[in-house]
């Protein structure tokens, strides 16, 4: 059937015109073949890149999991050390007196007044909390309280009273 159209075209428009049409059809076909080859190569390249990215993602996720586990373990250790330090600071000696210290947190109080919650501390810190410290004098008790509740974290010592 194609030969029929070529012969008809050659008779109607002449051999140069038919040759031109054949060359145009051939060029269009070549473009399609090249586009197909490029797209198939591109699909392969993108597939390989996806495989690489999946491997990198798995490796990164594995590392994140390891670091998260290590972070959790370190937080547990820090909590243990803080508890031990607090116990060491609280251990009374014979000459120590008991001081009751009233402490509140300014940031929690401000958030509470605005009807909000503090991002890390409990609402109880908006009010004065009383804690007992063993120390030989009021200044030493104040230092212990400041170490445990630093002013840099908005803790305020409201009052100190000696109990015994």
Tokens of 57: 């993602």
Count of CA atoms in the C-beta half-sphere (13 A) of 32:
6
Residue 145 · residue 103 · CB < 8 Å: yes
d(CA 161, CA 43): 78
Among positive and negative, which fits the CA dihedral 122, 125, 126, 127? positive
Q: Mean pLDDT: which of 27-41, 77-91, 141-155 is highest?
A: 141-155
Tokens of 82: 């803080």
Q: What is the pLDDT of residues 65-102, one digit of tens each?
A: 999 999 999 999 999 998 888 777 666 666 788 999 99
Tokens of 43: 């699909």
pTM tops 0.75, yes or no: no
């Amino acid at each position: 059937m194609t030969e029929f159209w070529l012969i008809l075209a050659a008779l109607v428009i002449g051999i140069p015109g038919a040759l031109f049409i054949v060359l145009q059809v051939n060029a269009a076909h070549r473009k399609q073949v090249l586009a197909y080859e490029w797209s198939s190569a591109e699909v392969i390249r993108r597939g390989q890149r996806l495989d690489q990215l999946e491997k990198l993602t798995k490796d990164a996720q594995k590392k994140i999991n390891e670091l998260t586990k290590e972070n959790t373990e370190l937080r547990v250790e820090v909590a243990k050390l803080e508890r031990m330090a607090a116990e060491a600071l609280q251990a009374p000696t014979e000459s120590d007196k008991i001081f009751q210290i009233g402490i509140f947190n300014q940031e929690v109080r401000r958030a509470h007044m605005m009807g909000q919650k503090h991002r890390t501390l409990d609402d109880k810190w908006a009010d004065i909390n009383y804690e007992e410290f063993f120390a030989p004098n009021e200044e030493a008790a104040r230092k212990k309280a400041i170490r445990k509740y630093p002013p840099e974290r908005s803790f305020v010592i409201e009052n100190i009273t000696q109990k015994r």
